[in-house]
A = this chain, B = another copy of it.
Protein backbone atom coordinates (compact mmCIF):
# COMPACT_ATOMS: atom_id res chain seq x y z
CA UNK A 1 0.00 0.00 0.00
CA UNK A 2 2.75 2.47 0.95
CA UNK A 3 4.59 1.60 -2.25
CA UNK A 4 1.44 2.44 -4.24
CA UNK A 5 1.04 5.71 -2.38
CA UNK A 6 4.64 6.74 -2.94
CA UNK A 7 4.15 6.19 -6.66
CA UNK A 8 0.86 8.10 -6.63
CA UNK A 9 2.37 11.11 -4.86
CA UNK A 10 5.35 11.23 -7.23
CA UNK A 11 3.13 10.73 -10.28
CA UNK A 12 0.72 13.50 -9.31
CA UNK A 13 3.59 15.89 -8.61
CA UNK A 14 5.17 15.21 -12.00
CA UNK A 15 1.79 15.37 -13.77
CA UNK A 16 1.06 18.79 -12.26
CA UNK A 17 4.32 20.15 -13.63
CA UNK A 18 3.99 18.48 -17.02
CA UNK A 19 0.37 19.56 -17.48
CA UNK A 20 0.97 23.18 -16.55
CA UNK A 21 4.14 23.41 -18.65
CA UNK A 22 2.33 21.98 -21.67
CA UNK A 23 -0.67 24.22 -21.07
CA UNK A 24 1.40 27.40 -20.67
CA UNK A 25 3.48 26.60 -23.74
CA UNK A 26 0.42 26.11 -25.94
CA UNK A 27 -1.22 29.21 -24.52
CA UNK A 28 1.83 31.27 -25.46
CA UNK A 29 1.38 30.12 -29.06
CA UNK A 30 -2.34 30.91 -28.82
CA UNK A 31 -3.48 27.32 -28.97
CA UNK A 32 -5.97 25.77 -26.50
CA UNK A 33 -4.01 24.92 -23.35
CA UNK A 34 -6.02 21.71 -23.00
CA UNK A 35 -4.19 20.36 -26.06
CA UNK A 36 -0.86 21.14 -24.42
CA UNK A 37 -1.93 19.24 -21.32
CA UNK A 38 -3.02 16.19 -23.33
CA UNK A 39 0.22 16.18 -25.32
CA UNK A 40 2.29 16.56 -22.15
CA UNK A 41 0.46 13.53 -20.79
CA UNK A 42 1.16 11.50 -23.92
CA UNK A 43 4.83 12.48 -23.64
CA UNK A 44 5.32 11.47 -19.99
CA UNK A 45 2.85 8.56 -20.15
CA UNK A 46 3.46 4.81 -19.98
CA UNK A 47 3.80 4.53 -23.77
CA UNK A 48 6.60 7.11 -23.95
CA UNK A 49 8.95 8.57 -21.30
CA UNK A 50 6.93 7.10 -18.41
CA UNK A 51 8.38 3.63 -18.80
CA UNK A 52 11.99 4.82 -18.85
CA UNK A 53 13.90 3.22 -15.98
CA UNK A 54 14.81 5.68 -13.21
CA UNK A 55 16.98 5.19 -10.10
CA UNK A 56 14.72 3.51 -7.53
CA UNK A 57 11.94 2.97 -10.08
CA UNK A 58 12.86 -0.17 -12.04
CA UNK A 59 9.71 0.06 -14.20
CA UNK A 60 9.76 3.82 -14.61
CA UNK A 61 7.46 6.41 -13.06
CA UNK A 62 4.44 5.28 -15.10
CA UNK A 63 4.95 1.53 -15.58
CA UNK A 64 3.70 -0.16 -18.74
CA UNK A 65 0.15 -1.30 -18.17
CA UNK A 66 -1.29 -4.67 -17.46
CA UNK A 67 -4.99 -4.52 -18.30
CA UNK A 68 -5.45 -0.79 -17.81
CA UNK A 69 -2.72 1.77 -18.57
CA UNK A 70 -2.86 3.71 -15.28
CA UNK A 71 -3.23 2.86 -11.59
CA UNK A 72 -6.57 2.85 -9.76
CA UNK A 73 -5.34 5.66 -7.51
CA UNK A 74 -4.55 7.94 -10.43
CA UNK A 75 -7.77 7.07 -12.22
CA UNK A 76 -9.67 8.06 -9.08
CA UNK A 77 -8.26 11.56 -9.31
CA UNK A 78 -9.25 11.90 -12.96
CA UNK A 79 -12.77 10.70 -12.18
CA UNK A 80 -13.27 13.32 -9.49
CA UNK A 81 -11.75 15.86 -11.88
CA UNK A 82 -14.31 15.07 -14.59
CA UNK A 83 -17.17 15.43 -12.10
CA UNK A 84 -15.77 18.76 -10.88
CA UNK A 85 -15.32 20.03 -14.45
CA UNK A 86 -18.86 19.25 -15.55
CA UNK A 87 -20.33 20.52 -12.28
CA UNK A 88 -18.63 23.87 -12.78
CA UNK A 89 -19.64 24.02 -16.45
CA UNK A 90 -23.22 23.36 -15.34
CA UNK A 91 -22.96 26.19 -12.82
CA UNK A 92 -21.73 28.55 -15.54
CA UNK A 93 -24.51 27.62 -17.95
CA UNK A 94 -27.18 30.24 -18.45
CA UNK A 95 -30.38 28.26 -17.94
CA UNK A 96 -32.59 30.68 -19.88
CA UNK A 97 -30.28 30.40 -22.89
CA UNK A 98 -30.04 26.63 -22.37
CA UNK A 99 -33.81 26.20 -22.61
CA UNK A 100 -34.08 28.70 -25.45
CA UNK A 101 -31.51 26.75 -27.44
CA UNK A 102 -32.68 23.32 -26.35
CA UNK A 103 -34.43 22.72 -29.70
CA UNK A 104 -31.34 23.37 -31.85
CA UNK A 105 -29.38 21.53 -29.15
CA UNK A 106 -31.61 18.49 -29.55
CA UNK A 107 -31.26 18.67 -33.32
CA UNK A 108 -27.48 18.89 -32.98
CA UNK A 109 -27.44 16.03 -30.48
CA UNK A 110 -29.71 13.68 -32.42
CA UNK A 111 -28.12 14.64 -35.72
CA UNK A 112 -24.63 14.21 -34.32
CA UNK A 113 -25.44 10.83 -32.82
CA UNK A 114 -27.07 9.53 -36.01
CA UNK A 115 -24.37 10.81 -38.35
CA UNK A 116 -21.50 9.45 -36.29
CA UNK A 117 -23.32 6.16 -35.72
CA UNK A 118 -23.97 5.66 -39.43
CA UNK A 119 -20.46 6.79 -40.37
CA UNK A 120 -18.85 4.58 -37.73
CA UNK A 121 -20.91 1.60 -38.81
CA UNK A 122 -20.27 2.18 -42.52
CA UNK A 123 -16.54 2.59 -41.95
CA UNK A 124 -16.43 -0.81 -40.28
CA UNK A 125 -18.55 -2.37 -43.04
CA UNK A 126 -16.26 -0.96 -45.72
CA UNK A 127 -13.03 -1.89 -43.96
CA UNK A 128 -14.19 -5.18 -42.46
CA UNK A 129 -12.70 -7.28 -45.21
CA UNK A 130 -9.23 -5.82 -44.64
CA UNK A 131 -9.28 -5.47 -40.86
CA UNK A 132 -11.25 -8.45 -39.61
CA UNK A 133 -10.87 -10.68 -42.64
CA UNK A 134 -14.68 -11.02 -42.83
CA UNK A 135 -17.31 -9.07 -44.72
CA UNK A 136 -19.87 -7.54 -42.33
CA UNK A 137 -23.30 -6.24 -43.33
CA UNK A 138 -24.61 -2.92 -42.01
CA UNK A 139 -26.69 -4.62 -39.28
CA UNK A 140 -24.07 -7.10 -38.04
CA UNK A 141 -23.19 -6.75 -34.34
CA UNK A 142 -19.53 -5.72 -34.78
CA UNK A 143 -20.09 -2.68 -37.05
CA UNK A 144 -23.14 -1.71 -34.99
CA UNK A 145 -21.08 -1.80 -31.81
CA UNK A 146 -18.23 0.26 -33.23
CA UNK A 147 -20.81 2.68 -34.64
CA UNK A 148 -22.20 3.22 -31.14
CA UNK A 149 -18.72 3.80 -29.73
CA UNK A 150 -18.09 6.55 -32.27
CA UNK A 151 -21.23 8.43 -31.13
CA UNK A 152 -19.64 9.11 -27.76
CA UNK A 153 -18.46 12.68 -28.31
CA UNK A 154 -15.86 13.92 -25.92
CA UNK A 155 -18.04 16.08 -23.66
CA UNK A 156 -15.08 16.87 -21.39
CA UNK A 157 -12.80 18.33 -24.06
CA UNK A 158 -15.68 20.36 -25.51
CA UNK A 159 -16.65 21.66 -22.08
CA UNK A 160 -13.09 22.60 -21.22
CA UNK A 161 -12.46 24.52 -24.45
CA UNK A 162 -15.75 26.39 -24.02
CA UNK A 163 -14.70 27.29 -20.45
CA UNK A 164 -11.25 28.49 -21.51
CA UNK A 165 -12.75 30.68 -24.23
CA UNK A 166 -15.47 31.90 -21.83
CA UNK A 167 -18.14 30.74 -24.28
CA UNK A 168 -20.18 28.52 -21.93
CA UNK A 169 -22.70 31.32 -21.70
CA UNK A 170 -22.98 32.02 -25.43
CA UNK A 171 -25.76 30.65 -27.69
CA UNK A 172 -23.21 28.47 -29.52
CA UNK A 173 -21.79 27.11 -26.28
CA UNK A 174 -25.21 26.25 -24.89
CA UNK A 175 -26.25 24.53 -28.12
CA UNK A 176 -23.08 22.45 -28.19
CA UNK A 177 -23.41 21.44 -24.53
CA UNK A 178 -27.06 20.47 -24.66
CA UNK A 179 -26.28 18.62 -27.88
CA UNK A 180 -23.47 16.72 -26.14
CA UNK A 181 -25.71 15.80 -23.21
CA UNK A 182 -28.45 14.50 -25.52
CA UNK A 183 -25.82 12.66 -27.52
CA UNK A 184 -24.79 10.81 -24.41
CA UNK A 185 -28.33 9.77 -23.50
CA UNK A 186 -28.95 8.60 -27.08
CA UNK A 187 -25.68 6.68 -27.02
CA UNK A 188 -26.92 4.63 -24.08
CA UNK A 189 -30.18 3.81 -25.85
CA UNK A 190 -28.30 2.81 -29.01
CA UNK A 191 -26.01 0.61 -26.93
CA UNK A 192 -29.03 -1.18 -25.47
CA UNK A 193 -30.38 -1.79 -29.00
CA UNK A 194 -27.05 -3.13 -30.22
CA UNK A 195 -26.50 -5.43 -27.25
CA UNK A 196 -30.00 -6.79 -27.81
CA UNK A 197 -29.24 -7.42 -31.48
CA UNK A 198 -25.98 -9.14 -30.60
CA UNK A 199 -27.71 -11.45 -28.11
CA UNK A 200 -30.80 -12.47 -30.02
CA UNK A 201 -30.21 -11.34 -33.60
CA UNK A 202 -33.37 -9.22 -33.58
CA UNK A 203 -34.24 -5.89 -32.07
CA UNK A 204 -36.20 -6.48 -28.85
CA UNK A 205 -38.29 -3.34 -28.87
CA UNK A 206 -39.70 -3.94 -25.40
CA UNK A 207 -36.24 -4.05 -23.79
CA UNK A 208 -35.01 -1.11 -25.82
CA UNK A 209 -38.13 0.84 -24.96
CA UNK A 210 -37.52 0.07 -21.28
CA UNK A 211 -33.92 1.29 -21.35
CA UNK A 212 -34.85 4.34 -23.40
CA UNK A 213 -37.72 5.25 -21.11
CA UNK A 214 -35.58 4.74 -18.00
CA UNK A 215 -32.64 6.83 -19.28
CA UNK A 216 -34.79 9.69 -20.49
CA UNK A 217 -36.94 9.58 -17.35
CA UNK A 218 -33.94 9.72 -14.98
CA UNK A 219 -32.30 12.44 -17.02
CA UNK A 220 -35.34 14.70 -17.45
CA UNK A 221 -36.67 13.83 -14.00
CA UNK A 222 -33.44 14.81 -12.25
CA UNK A 223 -33.16 18.03 -14.24
CA UNK A 224 -36.72 19.04 -13.34
CA UNK A 225 -36.31 18.00 -9.69
CA UNK A 226 -32.96 19.78 -9.45
CA UNK A 227 -34.40 22.99 -10.83
CA UNK A 228 -37.52 22.76 -8.68
CA UNK A 229 -35.61 22.25 -5.44
CA UNK A 230 -32.62 24.45 -6.31
CA UNK A 231 -33.66 27.10 -3.82
CA UNK A 232 -34.18 24.57 -1.01
CA UNK A 233 -30.80 22.95 -1.72
CA UNK A 234 -29.11 26.35 -1.75
CA UNK A 235 -30.86 27.22 1.52
CA UNK A 236 -29.63 24.03 3.18
CA UNK A 237 -26.08 24.63 1.95
CA UNK A 238 -26.14 28.18 3.28
CA UNK A 239 -26.70 26.87 6.80
CA UNK A 240 -22.99 26.05 6.96
CA UNK A 241 -22.45 29.84 6.79
CA UNK A 242 -18.85 29.74 5.62
CA UNK A 243 -18.40 30.12 1.84
CA UNK A 244 -15.63 27.54 1.44
CA UNK A 245 -17.56 24.87 3.36
CA UNK A 246 -20.66 25.63 1.29
CA UNK A 247 -18.74 25.18 -1.95
CA UNK A 248 -17.18 21.90 -0.83
CA UNK A 249 -20.58 20.59 0.30
CA UNK A 250 -22.12 21.47 -3.07
CA UNK A 251 -19.32 19.51 -4.72
CA UNK A 252 -20.12 16.63 -2.37
CA UNK A 253 -23.70 16.76 -3.60
CA UNK A 254 -22.52 16.72 -7.22
CA UNK A 255 -20.38 13.65 -6.45
CA UNK A 256 -23.33 11.79 -4.94
CA UNK A 257 -25.63 12.64 -7.87
CA UNK A 258 -22.88 11.60 -10.30
CA UNK A 259 -22.46 8.26 -8.52
CA UNK A 260 -26.21 7.62 -8.58
CA UNK A 261 -26.34 8.42 -12.31
CA UNK A 262 -23.55 5.95 -12.98
CA UNK A 263 -25.36 3.34 -10.94
CA UNK A 264 -28.52 3.94 -12.96
CA UNK A 265 -26.56 3.26 -16.14
CA UNK A 266 -26.15 6.88 -17.25
CA UNK A 267 -22.82 8.72 -17.29
CA UNK A 268 -21.42 10.31 -14.11
CA UNK A 269 -20.61 13.57 -15.82
CA UNK A 270 -24.23 14.03 -16.92
CA UNK A 271 -25.27 13.83 -13.27
CA UNK A 272 -22.63 16.36 -12.30
CA UNK A 273 -23.69 18.70 -15.11
CA UNK A 274 -27.35 18.54 -14.09
CA UNK A 275 -26.44 19.28 -10.47
CA UNK A 276 -24.46 22.32 -11.63
CA UNK A 277 -27.26 23.45 -13.92
CA UNK A 278 -29.75 23.20 -11.04
CA UNK A 279 -27.71 25.51 -8.84
CA UNK A 280 -26.81 27.87 -11.70
CA UNK A 281 -29.75 30.20 -11.10
CA UNK A 282 -29.31 30.47 -7.32
CA UNK A 283 -27.24 33.22 -5.73
CA UNK A 284 -24.72 30.56 -4.70
CA UNK A 285 -23.50 29.98 -8.26
CA UNK A 286 -20.84 32.70 -8.19
CA UNK A 287 -19.69 31.91 -4.65
CA UNK A 288 -19.22 28.23 -5.48
CA UNK A 289 -17.35 29.03 -8.69
CA UNK A 290 -14.98 31.37 -6.86
CA UNK A 291 -14.33 28.95 -4.05
CA UNK A 292 -13.78 25.94 -6.27
CA UNK A 293 -11.48 27.68 -8.74
CA UNK A 294 -8.28 26.43 -7.09
CA UNK A 295 -9.71 22.90 -6.97
CA UNK A 296 -10.31 23.34 -10.70
CA UNK A 297 -6.72 24.42 -11.24
CA UNK A 298 -5.51 21.39 -9.33
CA UNK A 299 -7.77 18.66 -10.71
CA UNK A 300 -8.65 19.56 -14.28
CA UNK A 301 -5.12 19.69 -15.77
CA UNK A 302 -4.46 16.34 -14.06
CA UNK A 303 -7.52 14.96 -15.85
CA UNK A 304 -6.43 15.99 -19.34
CA UNK A 305 -2.82 15.04 -18.75
CA UNK A 306 -3.87 11.53 -17.71
CA UNK A 307 -6.18 11.32 -20.74
CA UNK A 308 -3.09 12.03 -22.83
CA UNK A 309 -1.29 9.18 -21.07
CA UNK A 310 -3.86 6.73 -22.37
CA UNK A 311 -2.73 7.43 -25.93
CA UNK A 312 -0.99 4.31 -27.15
CA UNK A 313 1.50 5.39 -29.81
CA UNK A 314 2.27 1.86 -30.88
CA UNK A 315 -1.34 0.99 -31.62
CA UNK A 316 -1.78 4.32 -33.34
CA UNK A 317 1.22 3.48 -35.48
CA UNK A 318 -0.19 0.13 -36.47
CA UNK A 319 -3.63 1.49 -37.40
CA UNK A 320 -2.01 4.32 -39.31
CA UNK A 321 -0.07 1.75 -41.28
CA UNK A 322 -3.37 -0.01 -41.94
CA UNK A 323 -5.01 3.18 -43.15
CA UNK A 324 -2.03 3.88 -45.41
CA UNK A 325 -2.33 0.36 -46.72
CA UNK A 326 -5.96 0.98 -47.59
CA UNK A 327 -5.21 4.14 -49.52
Contacts and interface: CB of A to CB of B under 8 A. Distances in A.
Interface of A: 1-2, 4-10, 12-17, 20, 24, 56, 68, 71-77, 79-80, 83, 240, 244-245, 247-249, 251-256, 258-260, 262-263, 268, 291-295, 297-298, 301
A83 B256 CA distance: 26
Given A2-B262, A68-B1, A245-B20, A79 B297 contact: no
Nearest to A17: B252
Contacts of A75: 1, 4-5, 73
Given A9-B79, A245-B297, A298-B295, A256 B14 contact: yes
B79 A8 contact: yes
Contacts of A262: 2, 5-6, 9
Contacts of A17: 249, 252-253, 256
A20 B259 contact: no
Given A2-B262, A14-B256, A73-B76, A9 B248 contact: no
Contacts of A245: 20, 24, 297
A259 B54 CA distance: 14
Given A24-B240, A72-B73, A255 B12 contact: yes
Nearest to A264: B56
Contacts of A79: 5, 8-9
A157 B136 CA distance: 63
Contact of A16 (B9, B74, B252, B268): B252
Contact of A259 (B10, B244, B253, B263): B10
Nearest to A8: B76
B295 A255 contact: no
A36 to B, nearest CB: 13
B256 A20 contact: no
A307 to B, nearest CB: 14
Given A5-B75, A72-B1, A10 B247 contact: no
Contacts of A251: 16, 298
Contacts of A255: 9-10, 12-13, 16
A294 B291 contact: yes
A30 to B, nearest CB: 16
Contact of A256 (B4, B13, B249): B13
A252 B12 contact: yes
A256 B255 CA distance: 28
A157 to B, nearest CB: 19
B76 A240 contact: no
A294 B9 CA distance: 20
Contacts of A240: 20, 24
Contacts of A72: 1, 4, 71-73, 76
